[in-house]
Structure 1
């Protein structure tokens, strides 16, 4: 997340705007929306090997395949006020996965 925020000044504004919008949604008792960020992994060299694998369900079984993309999807969930468990901010990483 630090790399994403430092990569472009507009990212900090984008995150702040999202936080503000979610706080307003909470105030109106509306469900919050996840913030999706797409980020390219640049600082990991795999020596030509895949970054990971994905499993795709096909009927009763699942097929394993390599993920060669270096793109990661990160979804943030708004949690509201800073609390002891999350002193760093008003959101947590809800999920993240390799794209591909």
Structure 2
């Protein structure tokens, strides 16, 4: 996969509504997959698929803690990316109402 393809893959992974919410939920730090299951009303299989897509895109990482799997953001740059987009959207919306 070349650079452009990987960049597109990261952006596509972040753009899905469920995955966007998962990323935001992990802003505060690592969470057990059981906490993700409590927060998001999806089947285990559906949630696992979203987590795998985010992990494959380099957005999340996982760690085994005892019998549990904990997910966290790969690094803080992910927050910066989303916050930049959110600021951009806020400006667009503010300009649209003027």
With the length of structure 1 as denominator, give the TM-score of the two structures: 0.24
Counting helix residues as a fraction of each chain, which structure ranks higher? 2
Q: More strand per residue: 1 or 2? A: 1
